[in-house]
């Protein structure tokens, strides 16, 4: 027994020593992730498509801090406020991580007294939500926002926001999509007509948005406006200009000022969308509510209808990838004199889009390069490190993207293998003879062809060979 105890004690001591040194968990925080170089390459593609579109529509770009004063975010998100990350009180101001880019934008406008701007902002936002990372839901995620602020003629900026969503989703080739559109004023008008008390509007909107099939009746609405399974309540909950016309002719609804305004603007919106030729993918959808408190007019949300490698049989929506709407009162909440700046904007969520593209790349076995190196500076013989460093320095100074292995005497085979692995197309080989002759041997990695190039022509030759046609 004594022997066994001694053995165990020894084992424990060994383990204890190890544990003491490295007891922490090696992970990223819950709901977050790293991006590897390959993932970054895909992410860059998505960003490029989105930024190109935003710039095509004449947007400027701004940036704001990752955290705001806690009070800046207070009272803007309704029930979702509980998902805001607060910073620890370490003395000084109370801070919170931004929950979206819209409230910081409104704070920026009020603070700088800007009444007229079209800007985009691409940055990470933070929500202490239940993550579902395989479905692209994270606690730290990117939003790509485009907003138009200013007093303009109705629905022209609103229509442009929808055009932008249409352009980006088409451009990214994510398969079929649908943009649902509604208007907070129509919803509010309907609730009013049905006798729902004002105080319950926002709660209902929030619930409708979250549960999709909730019965508003359970929340204080006693009519059947939301009973979509009972078609006699309203004609149909989704449609286009036809549905708008029918609702405009509804005797009860058209008497409500808010609903009438909303329906009138919705009609105008659809006229502009027709001019843009995009009504085919837009649906006026009475069941769309969107949870955020600050919307005041048009609201919309884009969903992908099918996903690659979809295991679900029916072509149902598999997730929202963009959303937005009009928020005419938010800037006024920040302005000391309550001056309003009407705003409308759209937010593209790239995490879901990114997941789809990542899966597609993996399925296609497409080889993605994660560097742009044009040439590897190599040597076939030993003792040429100095010559390699001299040559690569010349190339760098001429703007050529070049690498060298960090070895004194690397084998030629290893240098060529490195090119194969990383996709470097050219190798510039220095050797005793080449140095004497004032040339460099340039090897094409794909064809294995080698030619001697005069050293003073090397930069030009590399540029020519690696310029895209």
Question: Binding site membership for L-histidine: which residues?
Answer: 100-102, 127, 143, 147, 290, 294-295
Rounded to whole angstroms, the Cα distance separating 223 from 263 reads 20
157 binds its own copies (CB under 8 A): yes
449 binds its own copies (CB under 8 A): no
Rounded to whole angstroms, the Cα distance separating 381 from 379 reads 6
2 binds its own copies (CB under 8 A): no
Pairing state between β 238-239 and 282-285? antiparallel
* Window 406 to 445, contacts with its own copies (CB under 8 A): 406-408, 422
Rounded to whole angstroms, the Cα distance separating 161 from 147 reads 8
Which one of 64-72, 186-194, 207-215, 227-235 is the stretch in contact with its own copies (CB under 8 A)? 64-72
In the bound complex, what is the minimum distance in angstroms from residue 23's beta carbon to its own copies?
9
- Identified binder of its own copies from the candidate list 127, 137, 163, 441, rule CB under 8 A: 163
* Angle at CA of residue 185, ends 221 and 299, nearest 5°: 105
**Helix or strand (DSSP H, E) at 414:** helix 412-422
Rounded to whole angstroms, the Cα distance separating 63 from 147 reads 13
Rounded to whole angstroms, the Cα distance separating 80 from 120 reads 24
111 binds its own copies (CB under 8 A): yes
Nearest Cα residue to 79 out of 299, 301, 289, 291: 291
Of 166 and 443, the one with the shorter C-beta distance to its own copies is: 166
Of 128 and 246, the one with the shorter C-beta distance to its own copies is: 128
47 binds its own copies (CB under 8 A): no
Of 234 and 270, the one with the shorter C-beta distance to its own copies is: 270
Query: Hunting for tokens 């900026």 — which residue is that?
Result: 157
Contacting residues for 119 by C-beta, under 8 A, at least 6 apart: 59, 60, 61, 62, 105, 146, 147, 149
**Cβ–Cβ under 8 Å, residues 123 and 240:** no
SS3 for 352? helix
- Identified binder of its own copies from the candidate list 14, 152, 173, 437, rule CB under 8 A: 152
Rounded to whole angstroms, the Cα distance separating 23 from 112 reads 49
Which one of 57-65, 250-258, 320-328, 446-454 is the stretch in contact with its own copies (CB under 8 A)? 57-65
72 binds its own copies (CB under 8 A): yes
- Reading the block at residue 86, the tokens are 């607060």
- Identified binder of its own copies from the candidate list 45, 128, 202, 360, rule CB under 8 A: 128
- Identified binder of its own copies from the candidate list 264, 401, 453, 461, rule CB under 8 A: 401
- Identified binder of its own copies from the candidate list 6, 11, 36, 315, rule CB under 8 A: 36
**Cβ–Cβ under 8 Å, residues 179 and 283:** yes
Give the DSSP letter string of 15-32: HHHHHHHS-S--SPPTT-
Which one of 61-69, 203-211, 296-304, 320-328 is the stretch in contact with its own copies (CB under 8 A)? 61-69
Of 59 and 288, the one with the shorter C-beta distance to its own copies is: 59
90 binds its own copies (CB under 8 A): yes
15 binds its own copies (CB under 8 A): no
93 binds its own copies (CB under 8 A): yes
159 binds its own copies (CB under 8 A): yes
Which one of 199-207, 208-216, 347-355, 401-409 is the stretch in contact with its own copies (CB under 8 A)? 401-409
Rounded to whole angstroms, the Cα distance separating 73 from 404 reads 50
In the bound complex, what is the minimum distance in angstroms from residue 139's beta carbon to its own copies?
9
* Window 272 to 301, contacts with its own copies (CB under 8 A): 272, 275-277
Size of the site for its own copies (CB under 8 A): 96
69 binds its own copies (CB under 8 A): yes
Cα 453 vs. chain centroid, distance in angstroms? 46
């Amino acid at each position: 027994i004594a022997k066994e105890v001694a053995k165990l004690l020894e084992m424990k001591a060994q383990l204890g020593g190890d544990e003491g040194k490295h007891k922490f968990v090696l992970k990223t925080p819950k709901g977050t992730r790293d991006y590897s170089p390959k993932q970054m390459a895909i992410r860059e593609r998505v960003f490029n498509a989105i930024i190109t579109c935003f710039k095509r529509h004449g947007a400027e770009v701004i940036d704001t801090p990752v955290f705001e004063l806690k009070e800046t975010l207070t009272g803007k998100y309704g029930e979702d406020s509980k998902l805001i990350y607060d910073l620890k009180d370490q003395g000084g101001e109370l801070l919170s991580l931004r929950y979206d880019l819209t409230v910081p934008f409104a704070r920026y406008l009020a603070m700088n007294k800007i009444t007229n701007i079209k800007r985009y902002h691409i940055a990470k936002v933070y929500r202490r939500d239940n993550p579902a990372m395989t479905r692209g839901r994270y606690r730290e995620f990117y939003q790509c926002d485009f907003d138009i602020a200013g007093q303009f003629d109705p629905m022209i900026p609103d229509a442009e926001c929808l055009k932008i969503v249409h352009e980006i989703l088409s451009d990214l080739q994510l398969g079929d999509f649908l943009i649902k559109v509604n208007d907070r004023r129509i919803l509010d008008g309907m609730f009013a007509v049905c006798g729902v008390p004002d105080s319950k509007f926002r709660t209902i909107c929030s619930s409708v948005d979250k549960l999709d099939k909730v019965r508003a009746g359970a929340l204080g609405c006693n009519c059947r406006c939301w009973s979509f399974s009972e078609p006699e309540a309203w004609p149909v909950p989704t449609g286009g200009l036809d549905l708008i016309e029918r609702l405009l002719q509804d005797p009860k609804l058209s008497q409500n000022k808010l609903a009438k305004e909303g329906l009138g603007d919705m009609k105008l919106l659809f006229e502009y969308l027709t001019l843009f030729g995009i009504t085919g993918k837009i649906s006026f959808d009475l069941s769309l509510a969107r949870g955020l408190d600050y919307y005041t007019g048009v609201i919309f949300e884009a969903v992908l209808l099918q996903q690659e490698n979809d295991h679900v049989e029916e072509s149902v929506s598999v997730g929202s990838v963009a959303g937005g709407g009009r928020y005419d009162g938010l800037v006024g909440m920040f302005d000391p004199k309550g001056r309003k700046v009407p705003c409308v904007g759209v937010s593209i969520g790239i995490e879901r889009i990114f997941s789809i593209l990542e899966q597609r790349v993996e399925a296609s076995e497409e080889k993605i390069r994660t560097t742009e190196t044009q040439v590897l500076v190599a040597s076939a013989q030993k003792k040429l490190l100095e010559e390699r460093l001299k040559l690569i320095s010349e190339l760098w100074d001429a703007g050529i993207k070049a690498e060298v292995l960090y070895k004194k005497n690397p084998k030629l085979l290893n240098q060529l293998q490195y090119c194969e692995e990383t996709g470097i197309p050219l190798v510039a080989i220095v050797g005793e003879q080449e140095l004497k002759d004032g040339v460099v041997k340039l090897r094409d990695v794909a064809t294995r062809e080698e030619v001697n190039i005069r050293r003073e022509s090397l930069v030009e030759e590399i540029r020519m060979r690696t310029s895209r046609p």
